[in-house]
Amino acid sequence: MSPFEIVVVSGKGGTGKTTLTACFAAMAEVPRVMADADVDAPNLGIILSPRETESRPFFGMKVAHVDAARCVGCGECLRFCRFGAIVMKDGKAVVDPGFCEGCGGCLLVCPESCIDKRAFQRGVLRRGETDFGPMWHARLAPGGENSGMLVALVRKEARREATELKAPLILVDGPPGVGCPATSSLTGAGLAVLVVEPSRSALSDLRRVIDLCRTLSLPFGVAINRWDISPEVTEEIRAVCDAEGWPVLGAVPFDERIARAVSDGRIPVEEMGRPLAELWRAILRRGSA
């Protein structure tokens, strides 16, 4: 049987999804593999402290590269590129890899055949052992592109290892937002847990992630974190969820001891107590529905 993948995401950062993912990793009672798919700001490792066993470069998509020694500065490539990825510098064409989409058109129009496509290192993929099982994570290089590809690679390795180990569960800490990395973290998963906290933008953030889940035909459930920092907004979120038919899986209160536990390097399962246990049970029920 293929492993069941739960991805914890949120419409914006700072909702506490990483702490909740770490708690779920500690609470699961079956063999599991963890993955941090937030490759721009990977934080799950700060809480789960993986002992590194593997590290490999991530190269991403191939982009155009000009052999400056052979370039005659005719400007054909620059005129062709619709992405503004080529500039002339000291009479030679230079490609900005951050803008190149790898279409290959400039290779075709260059009369000197002095452009080829090359892969540049865009980040690092890592594996480590945590107290709860293996964990895959990655870090995108500053300004690095192809974050969706790197997210897909992290998930692919986690899935491969879970299948090899016959681990029935994969827990993924997803990236915030609804862009390419979030889409890459959710595509083909089993369940999305959408973490929201009662802030002013909570409902619009939530609605955008739910739209994404629906586009991907992905089952989801809502987890309200720190619900008691604004009981009124929490009530509003619950009312909208009821009206829209969005399942609310649980609500966890704010507790200063949670932040203290995390800064002490502990996973705050005890501090979150019964509401966390109820949330986890609801997630498992929703996952098996």
**Chain positions contacting ligand SF4, by CB under 6 A:** 63-64, 66, 71-77, 80-81, 83, 85-86, 93, 95, 100-106, 110, 112, 114-115
Nearer to ligand SF4, 59 or 254 (CB): 59
Nearer to ligand SF4, 71 or 170 (CB): 71
**56-80 as b/e: b if 16+ CB within 10 A:** eebebeebbbbeeeebeeeebbbee
Minimum CB separation from ligand SF4 for residue 154, in Å?
A: 26
Question: Given the complex with ligand SF4, which of 8 and 81 has the nearer CB atom?
Answer: 81
Provide, rounded to whole angstroms, the least separation between the CB of residue 59 and ligand SF4: 16
- The first and second tokens of residue 35, run together, are 């993955």
Within 8 A by CB and 6+ apart from 285, the residues are: none
> 66 or 213, CB closer to ligand SF4?
66
Work out the angle between the directed axes of helices 231-244 and 202-215 (0-180°, nearest 10). Answer: 30
Strand 169-176 and strand 86-89: the pairing is unpaired
Smallest separation (angstroms) from ligand SF4 to the CB of 145: 12
Segments in the chain forming alpha helices (H) = 17-27, 44-48, 76-80, 105-109, 147-165, 180-186, 202-215, 231-244, 256-263, 269-288
Nearer to ligand SF4, 95 or 172 (CB): 95
